[in-house]
């Protein structure tokens, strides 16, 4: 099961990728999470990533392509992967195709989460996650069942992303519109683009994605 979840910041890619990871045992490869880990480590890449992310801009294609190529060769990707946040430019999409061909595999489906831009600002400014396990929550739409205690791991500390503020969100949306949305026709032409209603509630979006995975034959390989 090699799939991409595509959509603007806040569309619900991470939320759904984590659910798919649980259900199908295929890892979520989130380039934003990888970059945040680099920022935390204080590496040179992390320092560059911090500047770029705070500005709501995109990291250079070659760095991101290399990061993903290394990641998909790890043993936990043997049954496939769920890409979240990659590709974000046409150059990344093309590089992904040729890397998969080189590794003897291909994409099964690209799933676009369709959402209203105004709803995204509300989603992003209300987003927070468990500091221990990374489970995602939202002030209005999805709080833990016991207030202040993570449903997934029982953790009691939560954090918010530095770039989840209204000013940066606008730049990130613009980057999506100008650099990422143009990828959609590329996958449409390839016949592997599917759309789901990202405005539906979280369970309904999961249901629609499952339906797409079945129809696209993405579950046939045992994942």
**Is 85 one of the binding residues for ligand AMP (CB under 6 A)?**
yes
Contacts to ligand ADP from residues 15-74, by CB under 6 A = 15
Tokens 């806040």 label which residue?
10
Nearer to ligand ADP, 105 or 143 (CB): 143
- Alpha-helical (H) ranges within 13-145 are 13-24, 31-41, 44-55, 61-72, 90-102, 117-125
Stretch that binds ligand AMP, among 49-57, 73-81, 102-110, 141-149 (CB under 6 A): 49-57
**Is 59 one of the binding residues for ligand AMP (CB under 6 A)?**
yes
Stretch that binds ligand AMP, among 50-58, 113-121, 128-136, 204-212 (CB under 6 A): 50-58
**Exactly one of 19, 36, 88, 123 is catalytic; which is it?**
88
Nearer to ligand AMP, 53 or 196 (CB): 53
Asked if residue 128 lies in contact with residue 20, where contact means CB atoms within 8 angstroms, the answer is no
**Is 15 one of the binding residues for ligand AMP (CB under 6 A)?**
no
Q: Is 13 a catalytic residue?
A: yes
Nearer to ligand ADP, 14 or 87 (CB): 14
**Is 144 one of the binding residues for ligand ADP (CB under 6 A)?**
no
Burial class (CB in 10 A: 0-12, 13-18, 19+), 159: exposed
Q: Is 102 a catalytic residue?
A: no
Q: What are the distances in angstroms from CA 31 to CA 36, 98, 107, 221?
A: 9, 19, 17, 25
Number of residues that bind ligand AMP (CB under 6 A): 16
**Is 52 one of the binding residues for ligand AMP (CB under 6 A)?**
yes
d(CA 178, CA 160): 26
Phi/psi region, residue 114 (left: phi>0; alpha: psi -120 to 50; beta: rest), is beta
Residue 158 contact partner, candidates ligand AMP, ligand ADP, none, CB within 5 to 8 A by sort of partner: none
What is the residue-wise DSSP string for 166-202? HHHHHHHHHHIIIIITTHHHHHHHHT-EEEEETTS-H
**Is 65 one of the binding residues for ligand AMP (CB under 6 A)?**
no
CB of residue 69 vs ligand AMP: minimum separation in angstroms? 12
Residue 101: which residues within 8 A CB-CB, separation 6 or more? none
Residue 9: which residues within 8 A CB-CB, separation 6 or more? 120, 124, 169, 172, 173, 176
Residues of this chain that interact with ligand ADP (CB under 6 A) are: 7, 9-15, 123, 126-127, 136-138, 141-142, 201-202, 205
Q: Which residues are catalytic?
A: 13, 88, 127, 161, 172
């Amino acid at each position: 099961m090699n799939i991409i979840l595509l959509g603007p910041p806040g569309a619900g890619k991470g939320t759904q990728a984590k659910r798919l990871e649980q259900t199908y045992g295929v890892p979520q490869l989130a380039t934003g999470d990888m970059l945040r880990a680099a920022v935390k480590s204080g590496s040179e890449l992390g320092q560059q990533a911090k500047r770029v992310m705070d500005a709501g801009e995109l990291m250079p294609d070659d760095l991101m392509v290399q990061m993903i190529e290394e990641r998909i060769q790890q043993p936990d990707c043997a049954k496939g992967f769920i890409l979240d946040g990659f590709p974000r430019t046409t150059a990344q999409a093309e590089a992904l195709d040729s890397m998969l061909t080189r590794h003897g595999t291909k994409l099964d489906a690209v799933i676009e989460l369709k959402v209203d831009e105004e709803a995204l600002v509300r989603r992003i400014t209300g987003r927070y996650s468990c500091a221990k396990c990374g489970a995602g929550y939202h002030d209005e739409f999805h709080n833990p069942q016991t207030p202040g205690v993570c449903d997934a791991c029982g953790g009691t500390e939560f954090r918010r992303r530095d770039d989840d503020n209204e000013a940066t969100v606008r730049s990130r949306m613009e980057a999506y519109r100008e650099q990422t949305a143009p990828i959609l026709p590329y996958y449409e032409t390839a016949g592997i683009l599917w759309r789901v209603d990202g405005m539906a509630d979280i369970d309904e979006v999961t249901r629609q994605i499952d339906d797409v995975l079945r129809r696209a034959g993405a579950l046939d390989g045992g994942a």
